[in-house]
Amino acid sequence: MPVLHDDDRDPLDDRIRELAREVNAPPATPREEMWQAISARRQAQPRRAPRPRWVPWAAAVLAVGIGIGRMSVPESNRPTTPATSVADAPRVNPTAYRLAAEEHLAQSEAFLTLFRASLERPGDHRLASATARQLLTGNRLLLDSPAARDEATRRLLEDLELVLAEIAQLSPASPAQDLDLIRDGMERGDVLSRLRQAVPTGTVPNHGAL
Amino acid sequence: MNDRELIGRVLAGDPGAERALYDAHVDRVFRLVYRMAGDLDRAQDWVQETFIRAFDRLAGFRGESALSTWLCSIAISVSLNGMRQVRRAREREVGLDDAGPLGHQPIQADPDLRTRLGQAIEALPDGYRAVFVMHDVEGYTHDEIARALGVQTGTSKAQLFRARARLREALADFARE
């Protein structure tokens, strides 16, 4: 492929460029009108309350509990809710955080693969929305845990959080544009590919959100 | 106040900072979106969507690019999705049998060069159109375009090269006059 330079330009290009600036020339920005609309829509959205200071620590403990529970208890014997206590936390091996993160990322990868396929046909996305909310909870716990100390993992969890949050907000009344934006967000951040790279071969998502 | 301080104040819940951020960037975003939309109502909708999404995602902005580039990236994403919606709506209106892809609409003969150019720009594939509008019309650099569109700088250059070639082809008979 030839190397392209900005000056690889036909004489007609300058004329086209000048005329193109006159085509669809923007009017004055209707800033007040748009700001009123933005404010109204934002006020209609539920706002996230600021998190109390104890949340990150509690979240980390819970994430460890989930991770240990999933990795160490035979499936048939698993309790319906993970049991843990703050006193357990200091004894936890960092490997548990990593394993919990891998498990979560494997579940998320499976979910997003199914979700992306479901976008090809019209339908009700309420189940996807509910699943995304569950995954979002785990995602936020992991973001607040030592698993997120790894830079690549933290970035992946942050990007995943945006995608999951958008899916969680879907409702039967959501316009098709919302689905396009989610798909676009997944593709732009290359989220699925990064999830696949982050999940070790052979990791099969256990039960949980899926 | 720089962007970093402004973002901090927005995230702390300062509504005045939200307005300041909006005021600082809305003109550039509006110009770009209007050029893409070619319609005031659509442009207003897309700009509003851009800022709503930006405020929602601001906590995830990592400062790897300028805030203006990040906003431009959201604006382009919203615009390209909006253009797809418009295209689908047009296809439904004219019927699937009669509707060609937007990027291959025949250009009607028109004595007015501006009208003809407007049609030719609209007929460009979305990616070409975005790069052409950003670079040749709004003056973005290839680096800014690459970051906003999530492509390589070389891809931006190649798409501009092809967009210009298509426009030259569409206006070839005017060039001969």
ipTM: 0.83
8 Å CB contact between B153 and B140? no
B10 and B88 share one domain: yes
B117 and B36 share one domain: no
Query: What's the domain range around B16?
Result: 1-99
The CATH number for B105's domain is: 1.10.10.10
* Residue where a domain terminates, one of B99, B125, B140: B99
Residues B30-84: tens digit of each pLDDT: 999 999 998 899 999 999 999 999 998 898 887 778 899 999 999 998 998 888 8
* Residue where a domain terminates, one of B84, B99, B114: B99
B44 and B66 share one domain: yes
Cα A132 to chain center, whole Å?
Answer: 9
The CATH number for B69's domain is: 1.10.1740.10
Full-prediction pTM beyond 0.95?
Answer: no
Residues B82-117: tens digit of each pLDDT: 888 888 777 777 654 454 444 334 444 455 788 888
Cα B163 to chain center, whole Å?
Answer: 14
B149 and B161 share one domain: yes
Radius of gyration of chain A from Cα atoms? Answer: 23
Split into its structural domains, chain B has a count of 2
B8 and B88 share one domain: yes
* Residue where a domain terminates, one of B99, B129, B159: B99
8 Å CB contact between A206 and A70? yes
Read off the tokens for B158. Answer: 């190649």
Cβ neighbours of residue B101 closer than 8 Å, sequence gap 6 or more: B87
Which sequence spans correspond to the domains of chain A? 99-198
CB-count exposure of residue A86 (10 Å: 0-12, 13-18, 19+): exposed
Calculate how close chain B gets to A31, using CA atoms only, in Å: 7
B5 and B91 share one domain: yes
B3 and B45 share one domain: yes
Chain A partners within 8 Å of B74 (Cβ): none
Contact B26 A38 (CB under 8 A): no
Calculate how close chain B gets to A64, using CA atoms only, in Å: 24
Burial A27-60 (b: 16+ CB within 10 A, else e): eebbeeebbebbbeebeeeeeeeeeeeeeeeebb
Distance CA B8, CA B6 (A): 5
